[in-house]
Amino acid sequence: MDILFYMHGEDPEPWRAELARRLPDARCRVWQAGDDAPADYVLAWRPPAELLRGRRGLKAVFNLGAGVDALLALLRDDPAMLAPDVPVFKLDDAGMSEQMVHYAAYAVLRHFRSFDEYARQQQRAAWTQLPTREAAHFPVGVMGLGALGSDVARALVALGFPVRGWARSAKHVEGVRCFAGEREFDGFLAGLEVVVNLLPLTAETEGILDRRLFARLARGARIVNIARGGHLVEADLLAALDAGQLSGASLDAFRDEPLPPDHPFWHHPRIDITPHIAARTTIAASIGQIAERIRSLEHGEAVGGKIDLGRGY
C-alpha cells in the first residue's frame, strides 16, 4: 500500500520512520509540493489543500491529532476535495488523555487552593493565611465529554470535587452529573467555580466562552481553555476579569498562534498562558493506533474514530 504523510511545523522523519517500522510492507513517503501521485492513505496534520484536492485512490484520511477543525475547514471550503466515500479518522487518545488530566487538575487545584493569591502575597512579602475551602462545595464543570473530557471529569471526581459535564448530546460518565444540549446549558453553568473547556470547535461552539457564560458562574470563577482559541471571546474575558466576575483564566489555545507579542493576554496579571502544550500527540502512540486501524481497514473490519463531517467531530 502507499501512504502519504504530512506534518505541519514538525520534522516529519521521526513520524515516517515509526510508520515504516509499524507497517514495514507499506511504501511511506513525505508529501512535497507537486506530488499528485496516487495514495491509499493520507496521514496529515494541518495539510494544505493541494495535498488532498483530486487525490486519487484514497481509502481513508487520518488526522494526526484529536482536534480536526483545521482539516474540516479545508473540506468546508471545497466539499468536493474528497470523494464522499473516503472516511476521515481522528486520534482517540494517543497519549493525550493523561496530559490533559494533569493540566486540568493543576489549573483547578491552583484556583481551589488560592495559589495565585499566595503568589501575589509573596511579591508583597505578605504573610496572610486565606480561608480554607472544602472540595465538596467547589463545583467544577467540564465542557465536552469525549474521550479526553471524560477522563478529565473522572480525575476531578477522584480529587473530591462535585463535577458536572456538558455535551451536545446525552452522555454518561460515572460520578459526573451530566447535562446535554442548549436547554440544559444554564443549569450546567449555574454557580460553577471552574469551567474546563474541552469541546470540539464547530459552528455551534465558536465563541461559546463569552459574557453570557461568564455571568452564570460563581463570582470569582476561573476559566480553563485547553481546547481551541476560537471558543473564547477575548474581549468578554478581559471585561469579566476587570469586573471581578472572573478571578483568572488558564489559556492554552488562542485564535492567533503563536500569540502575538503585543497581545494584552501576555501581561495580564490574572491570565496564565501556555503555548498550546496541554496535550501533545506522541509519535509511538499515534502511529501505533493508526497502523492498527489501517490493518483493520485492509481486512474490511470496523474502525473507531471516524469523524462525522456534518457534525464537525
User: Which active-site residues does the annotation give?
Assistant: 228, 276
CA distances from 277 to 104, 258, 282, 290 (A): 12, 12, 12, 22
Residues 6+ apart with CB under 8 A from 19: 3, 5, 26, 28, 43, 287, 290, 291
Q: Return the closest-CA partner of residue 65 out of 90, 31, 37, 97.
A: 90
* Residue 109 backbone dihedrals phi, psi, to 5 degrees: -65, -35
Q: Are 30 and 16 in contact (CB under 8 A)?
A: yes
C-alpha cell at position 112: 481551589
Q: How far apart are CA 222 and CA 210, in angstroms?
A: 13
DSSP character at residue 129: P
CB–CB of 244/214 below 8 Å? no
Angle between helix 96-112 and 115-123 (nearest 10): 60
- The residue type of 29 is R
CB-based contact 104:152 (threshold 8 Å): yes
User: Which ranges constitute the DSSP H helices of the chain?
Assistant: 13-22, 49-52, 69-77, 96-112, 115-123, 147-158, 185-189, 211-215, 234-243, 283-298
Question: In degrees rounded to 5, what are phi and psi of residue 7?
Answer: -130, 105
Strand partners, 251: 225, 273
